[in-house]
């Protein structure tokens, strides 16, 4: 599902990405409760990962707890070639209109534009006239429109100056972000030597997951029958447990989504065993691992990301 989402995003932003630079950098950061990836590999900056039960664009929530990620989140989806935020001017004018109406705070526009507040305030001041100017440009052949454009020319000149200054600022941010990322350590975990495997309810499963993720077992949290490490959630099962879990999930789906709407007379013709067999034709991971459909194996356990 997440891979399909990434493909969709790349298609939608394709026209925008072409103006970015070639791939230069991709860095993964791992903490006790998060995994974050910052890259420019598609021509735009991207901060995604897993944190606090969420996957995807986690920058906003991650940077609240870990301020070191604020600069990285500020350039999320900005062109890596010049640092310009996605559709910066068009979206900036849209958000400026909302600020003027009192529907959004100024700080939200400042954060979106990723620029000094003084420069954003100048942008905000001329935005109503520029919105009118851009609408008038669509009817350039109309004599009244030409007069309107002439009357607004001074605002247009000021706006062009502001956007030029914004471009200089964004390019500077784009150059600086590589230095910031390079200085940040990849491993942000903090192991707890006071914790032993015996402190866990399922020490063997914890050990297996620690080996699979290549992280210290003290970073793993038990939450019922699930385990959470570096912001990612897993099931660790024996072969027998995996068989039962997969079958139970298939049966649960059938009962809730298929049999629920069937009459009692029709239900007797439903072959549950055949249904379960068909569901598992692509393997247990397809059913159990709700995140990526994978089944990974250690010496004694099967691991699923959920």
pLDDT in tens, 156-196: 899 999 999 999 999 999 999 999 999 999 999 999 999 99
User: Distance between CA 247 and CA 159 in Å, rounded?
Assistant: 63
CA 255, chain centre distance (Å): 34
In this predicted model, which residue has the larger pLDDT, 147 or 265?
265
CA 56, chain centre distance (Å): 3
Break the chain into its structural domains and give their ranges. 197-305
Q: What is the pLDDT of residue 264?
A: 84
User: If you average pLDDT over each of 6-10, 138-142, 225-229, which comes out highest?
Assistant: 225-229
> Per the confidence metrics, is the pTM higher than 0.85?
no
In this predicted model, which residue has the larger pLDDT, 36 or 23?
36
Checking if the pLDDT of 12 tops 70, the result is no
User: Distance between CA 276 and CA 272 in Å, rounded?
Assistant: 6
Per-residue pLDDT band at 146 (split at 50, 70, 90)? low
DSSP bridge partners of 35: 30, 50
Per-residue pLDDT band at 4 (split at 50, 70, 90)? low
DSSP 218: G
pLDDT in tens, 153-162: 888 899 999 9
User: How crowded is the C-beta side of 186, counted as CA atoms within 13 Å?
Assistant: 4
2-16, 70-84, 99-113, 124-138: segment of lowest average pLDDT: 2-16
CA 126, chain centre distance (Å): 33
């Amino acid at each position: 599902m997440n891979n399909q989402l990434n493909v969709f995003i790349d298609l939608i932003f394709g026209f925008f990405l072409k103006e970015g630079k070639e791939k230069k950098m991709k860095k993964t950061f791992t903490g006790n409760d998060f995994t974050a990836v910052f890259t420019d590999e598609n021509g735009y900056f991207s901060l995604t990962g897993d944190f606090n039960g969420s996957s995807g664009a986690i920058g906003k929530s991650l940077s609240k707890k870990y301020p070191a990620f604020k600069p990285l989140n500020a350039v999320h989806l900005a062109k890596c070639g010049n640092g310009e935020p996605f559709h910066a001017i068009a979206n900036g004018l849209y958000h400026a209109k909302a600020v003027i109406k009192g529907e959004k705070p100024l700080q939200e526009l400042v954060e979106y534009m990723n620029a000094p507040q003084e420069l954003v305030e100048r942008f905000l001041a001329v935005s109503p006239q520029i919105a009118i100017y851009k609408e008038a440009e669509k009817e350039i052949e109309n004599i009244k429109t030409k007069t309107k454009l002439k009357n607004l020319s001074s605002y247009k000149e000021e706006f062009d100056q502001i956007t030029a200054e914004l471009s200089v600022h964004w390019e500077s941010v784009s150059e600086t972000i590589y230095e910031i990322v390079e200085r940040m350590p990849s491993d942000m975990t903090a192991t707890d030597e006071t914790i032993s495997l015996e402190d866990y309810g399922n020490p063997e499963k914890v050990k297996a997951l620690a080996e699979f993720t290549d992280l210290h077992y003290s970073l793993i949290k038990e939450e019922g029958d699930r385990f959470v490490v570096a912001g990612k959630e897993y099931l660790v099962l024996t072969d027998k447990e995996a068989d039962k879990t997969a079958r139970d999930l298939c049966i649960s789906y059938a009962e809730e989504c298929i049999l629920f709407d069937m009459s009692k007379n029709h239900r007797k013709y439903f072959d549950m065993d055949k249904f379960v067999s068909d569901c598992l034709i692509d393997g247990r991971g397809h059913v159990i691992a709700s995140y990526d459909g994978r089944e990974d194996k250690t010496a004694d356990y099967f691991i699923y990301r959920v």
